[in-house]
Amino acid sequence: MSSERPLLAEIFSTPLGWVGLVVGPRGLERVWLPRHRSALLREMRSAFPQLTLLDEPDATRPWRQGILEMMKGRPPSFPDHLNWDKLSTFTRAVLVAVRSIPWGTVMTYGQLAVAVGRPRAARAVGRAVAANPWPLVVPCHRVVRADGIGGFGGGVELKRTLLQKEGIWR
């Protein structure tokens, strides 16, 4: 029998759809962007077949509360406890820089490349941002193209909505 603590999961409703969280012994494992509950549950079980789904578990509370604040247009507060183990050194550096983008501001992929010391790596930065396992918590929606909004895993409309909640996009 394994002595490792189980993965705990929660699916909760937001004004933009259902959001999923998975927390393990090493911290927050993954955040799923808002979507329909049934699709979300399928994706979560596919990625983490061993997870235990709970209603409002204490383990996910600080992230749930922060996401709900964000959905109300208020700056969120999130714990630092994220499981970085599966990320490359470069992706980690990019996502640490993304975490530092203040509420209500954006940064371009090029600016982010400069910030991580790789000024010619805007495309690689874009791939690292796309690999973010914690969207909303690590606010990758605040990274935009130099000539427009750019893409987003949850779709451009969701990105626009999130930026509007921060007062920074029309």
Nearest to 112 by CA among 103, 74, 102, 101: 101
Candidate list 40, 140, 162, 163, residue with the active-site label = 140
DSSP 46-62: HH-TT-EE-SS-GGGHH
SS3 7: coil
- Is 140 noted as a catalytic residue in this protein? yes
Q: How far apart (Å, rounded) are the C-alpha atoms in residues 10 and 72?
A: 20
Asked if 96 and 117 touch (Cβ cutoff 8 Å), the reply is no
Give catalytic residue positions: 140
